[in-house]
Amino acid sequence: MMFRYAALRDYGIVLAVVALVAVLSLSTDTFLTAANLVNLLDQAVVVGLLTCGMTLCVICGVFDLSASAVLAVSAIVAVIVTERAGVPAGYAAGVAAGALLGTLNGLVVVLSRVHSFIATLALSIVHRGVALVITGGAIVYPGAARLAGFQSLSWPTVLGGVTASSLLLVAAAVLSSVLLARTTFGRRVYAVGGNPTAAWLSGIGVRSIRVAVFAASGTCAALAGLVLAARGGSAQPDMGTLLELTAIAAAVIGGTSILGGRGAVWRGMVGVLILTLIGNGFNLLGWDSTYRPIVEGLLILAAVSIDYALRHHRD
């Protein structure tokens, strides 16, 4: 019996993806075309990058509701620095800004002892305000001379037209998976999320681990910001609004426990794939997209309910 419950928890989400792919393949002739599959992967990049960092946070037992605001600030910094110092410096500055803001978020959470949900919600407002101050509420551009280079992340590669940003998502997912599943740091993230008191009594620096996952989330948000800015050739204070909620939804739909201590990055990526497949299916089948949030909301509710039921059965 326990084996069946474990199998449901571990592989049920994969079966859901297989079912979605089968339905879309049979329902439309365009789903399995190379162009649509490349487009599908490209659509998943921004939310996928946010989900990499968000999964680490949720497993650790914290939430980062400032991720989209960090995304915006990082993209703005990247554009401004690119205009003055070139594309490599701009990209580096954007990632550094995200890591710095993520670390700041973590420090505020652990030092103030305010719940991460509330603290990062407040910090998201602060970061959006910083973005407004930097830009004066205007859209910022890297300038015509540097625009083409700045948009290199959105260029297709030699791998069948797969964009550079899609390869960035693959690299980020692999790196965060290895970090979580194959390192001492990853084991400590699980321990802190599962039982912070027991982790502290075992000699684990609970505060430092929480700060670290926020820094990772900020870095992933910065990468997502670079992708969005590269696609549009610009950045603005309100870009990416509420995308952190979609990232949390992807992590939860993928099977990462909202209560912490259980999950995996690959699960988050499967959750992203499911949400992307739903959006792609609505487009290909010509369905009214106003119903899409209803479907996604029901999926989230089902995922949380299943997680609660499995935990209750185990306990």
CA distance 52 to 254: 12
Domain housing 80: 2-314
Along the 315 residues of the chain, how does pLDDT read in single tens digits? Answer: 444 555 555 667 788 888 889 989 998 888 889 889 999 999 999 999 999 999 999 999 999 999 999 999 999 999 999 999 999 999 999 999 999 999 999 999 999 999 999 999 999 999 999 999 999 999 999 988 899 999 999 888 877 789 999 999 999 999 999 999 999 999 999 999 999 999 999 999 999 999 999 999 999 999 999 999 999 999 999 999 999 999 999 999 888 988 899 899 999 999 999 999 999 988 888 888 888 888 888 887 877 777 667 665 555
Buried b (16+ CB within 10 A) or exposed e, 260-277: bbbbbbbbbbbbbbbbbb
Largest CA distance in the chain: 64
Look at residue 2 in the predicted model and tell me its pLDDT: 46
Buried b (16+ CB within 10 A) or exposed e, 285-298: eeeeeeebeeebee
Look at residue 11 in the predicted model and tell me its pLDDT: 67
Q: Which two tokens stand for residue 146?
A: 């540097």
CA distance 46 to 172: 11
* 189 to 211, 214, 245: CA distances (angstroms): 11, 12, 21
Give, for 74, the enclosing helix (H) or strand (E).
helix 67-85
CA distance 116 to 61: 9
Helix, strand, or coil (residue 31): coil
Residue 76 Cα to chain centre, angstroms: 19
Cβ neighbours for 232, distance < 8 A, ≥ 6 positions apart: none
* 272 to 42, 150, 182: CA distances (angstroms): 12, 26, 23
98, 221 Cβ separation under 8 angstroms: yes
Helix, strand, or coil (residue 155): coil
Look at residue 6 in the predicted model and tell me its pLDDT: 52
Residue 57 Cα to chain centre, angstroms: 10
| pTM of the predicted protein model | 0.93
Least Cα distance to 24 among 270, 251, 283, 254 occurs for: 283
Residue with tokens 């680490």: 56
| Identity of the residue numbered 35 | A
User: In total, how many domains does the chain have?
Assistant: 1
- For the beta carbon of residue 307, count every other beta carbon within 10 angstroms: 19
What CATH number did the domain enclosing 61 receive? 1.10.3470
* 15 to 4, 187, 297: CA distances (angstroms): 14, 27, 19
Helix, strand, or coil (residue 193): helix
Four-CA torsion 24, 29, 30, 31, nearest 10 degrees? 20
Least Cα distance to 230 among 41, 38, 46, 36 occurs for: 46
CA distance 152 to 166: 12
CA distance 236 to 71: 10
